[in-house]
Amino acid sequence: MRTEQTLWKEDTGWSAIHPESINGQANLVFAFGGIDVIKKDQVFSELQKRYPKAHVVLASTAGEIHGNMVFDDSISVTACQFEHTPIRIHKLSVKDYPNSFSCGEAIREELASEDLNHILIFSDGISVNGDELVRGVNQNLPEGVIVTGGLAADAGRFTRTYVGADSPPEPDQIVAIGFYGTSLKVNHGSQGGWDVFGPVRKVTKSEANVLYELDGESALEIYKRYLGARASELPGSALLFPLCILGENSNSQLVRTILSIDENEGSMKFAGNIPNGANVQFMMANFDRLVDGAAQAAEMSIADNQPDLVMMISCVGRKIVLDQRVEEEVESVCSVFDNRPAFTGFYSNGEISPLMNTVGCSLHNQTMTITTYQEG
């Protein structure tokens, strides 16, 4: 496979394409951009004009990863030419289905076939319960199919996200890309790097991904107390204290971030389910560990090949915490690969990736999730 990349910025416009090798031969194009620019019609039409044979997939972000740098309000474009790997795109609107689970089932039904190798999902990041979505996809999925991806973001505003394929991006959309055949080698890795702190609490009232009470106390109040002065920045500031759902062992820990809050109900909506009765604990950033975590995710994904493309989907929460140091984690990922593959990705409202050593994929929050591609 071959790739080429270009970056749009408001002040500088499109950068030179690097390397300028495939041009019109690209069959898949990823375009990740700031919420206010990616949704513009001319972005899609320009990309379609530039890559007429390609499926163009677009998603809004909370920061674009391009090479070893992180940008805001830019458009990062990566064009790929898969020579031996058939690709199918399935796009659906959340509104056409009763729930997120059904959306997942529809994706699996649409894409599943004997030679299905990998599914890459870009989903709306506000109206979709990522947990239910991946549960639906996993249902009856043929063994060995790797599912990764991420939820689109809106720069930490948590109001509206955009996703599109072969048309200008819109809210409430899910795009899934099916990769077929055995030529493509797909690997993945995912790491958090957050530390748990404070008392372990039991979820005493929740419905799916909406949390009401912890230990019989309003969860929102607890958050406000812990955020102190930054409670006024909710829901964004809640990303500083993601919730760790404690499993029976440390390997099965899941991290959840807040999508929105409801002051009237006193509830908090998370990117994934918060099961009733689960034990949870607050998490807090440790800068060095966040950066190390990203590098570990890269190492997990490198396996024994030298990938052509590295897709980094990191969490908006990490970006808020790391702030000006956010590029450190991208640099640490890039430094793991010494064959100079194309690096792309974005800061998301949720990462989709299998847990370590397990088959079914899960929704993650607050992680650096890496998928690597090599066609040979």
Partner 1 sequence: MFREQNKKMHRLLERQLRKWLPGYPEIPSEMRDLFCAINESYFHHDNDRLMVENAMRESSDELTVKKGQINQLLDDQTIVINSLKEAVVRLVPETEIGVETDLLCIADILQESITRREVAESMKEQTDQRLLDIIDNLNLGMVEYDVEGRLTDVQNNFASMFGYDVAELEGKTANFFQAGEKRPAEKACLEGFHFSISKEVYEAPLRKKNGETFWLFCTTTPVYDLNGQLTGGVMVVFDITSQKKLESQLRHARRDAEAALEVRKTILANVSHELRTPVNAIVGITSLLSGTTLNDIQKEYIQTMKFSSDGLLVLIDDLLDISRIESGKVELEKISFSLSQILHVLSRSLGLKAEGKGLKFNYHIDEGVSEYLFGDPHRLNQVLTNLISNAIKFTHEGEITVKIELRKNESEVQRLYIGVKDTGIGIATDRLGAVFQEFSQEDSSTTRKYGGTGLGLTISRKIVELMGGSLNVVSEKNVGSEFYFEVDFRKSEAPAIQKENFNPDLAGVRVLVVEDNPVNQFLATSLLKTWNAVVEVCANGVQAIDMLSNVNFDVILMDLQMPLKDGFETTVELREKYHLTTPIIALTANAISGERDQCLQLGMNEYMSKPFQPEVLYRKIQELIHKDQSEMRA
- Which spans of this chain sit near partner 1 (rule: CB under 8 A)? 197-199, 225-230, 240-241, 282, 284, 321, 323-324
* Closer residue to partner 1 (CB): 205 or 230: 230
Shortest separation between residue 213's beta carbon and partner 1, angstroms: 15
Integer Cα distance of 181 and 86 in angstroms: 7
Integer Cα distance of 47 and 375 in angstroms: 24
Amino acid at 373: Y
* Closer residue to partner 1 (CB): 274 or 322: 322
Shortest separation between residue 293's beta carbon and partner 1, angstroms: 18
Shortest separation between residue 368's beta carbon and partner 1, angstroms: 20
DSSP state letters, 28-88 = EEEEEEEHHHHT-HHHHHHHHHH-TTSEEEEEEESSEEETTEEESS-EEEEEEE-SS--EE
Residue 363 CA: distances (Å) to CA of 39, 61, 136, 137: 25, 17, 12, 12
Shortest separation between residue 228's beta carbon and partner 1, angstroms: 4
Shortest separation between residue 226's beta carbon and partner 1, angstroms: 5
Residues in contact with 35: Cβ distance below 8 Å, sequence separation at least 6, in sequence order: 60, 61, 153, 154, 155, 157, 160, 161, 162
Shortest separation between residue 94's beta carbon and partner 1, angstroms: 34
Q: How many residues does the chain have?
A: 376
Q: Which two tokens stand for residue 26?
A: 């690209």
Shortest separation between residue 224's beta carbon and partner 1, angstroms: 10
* Closer residue to partner 1 (CB): 199 or 216: 199
3-state secondary structure string, 86-106?
CEEEEEEEHHHCCCHHHHHHH
By three-state DSSP, how is residue 352 classified?
strand
Using CB atoms within 10 Å of the CB of residue 348, give its burial: 0 to 12 exposed, 13 to 18 middle, 19+ buried: buried
* Closer residue to partner 1 (CB): 156 or 345: 156
* Closer residue to partner 1 (CB): 321 or 368: 321
Point out which residues pair with 43 in neighbouring strands: none
Shortest separation between residue 198's beta carbon and partner 1, angstroms: 4
Contact 72, 34 (CB under 8 A): yes
Q: Which two tokens stand for residue 193?
A: 């790097």
Which letter does DSSP use for residue 323 in this model? G
Residue 159 CA: distances (Å) to CA of 152, 164, 171: 11, 17, 10
Q: Which two tokens stand for residue 127?
A: 């109206």
Integer Cα distance of 60 and 161 in angstroms: 6
Integer Cα distance of 284 and 136 in angstroms: 31
* Closer residue to partner 1 (CB): 151 or 326: 326
Shortest separation between residue 240's beta carbon and partner 1, angstroms: 6
Shortest separation between residue 192's beta carbon and partner 1, angstroms: 18
* Closer residue to partner 1 (CB): 110 or 195: 195
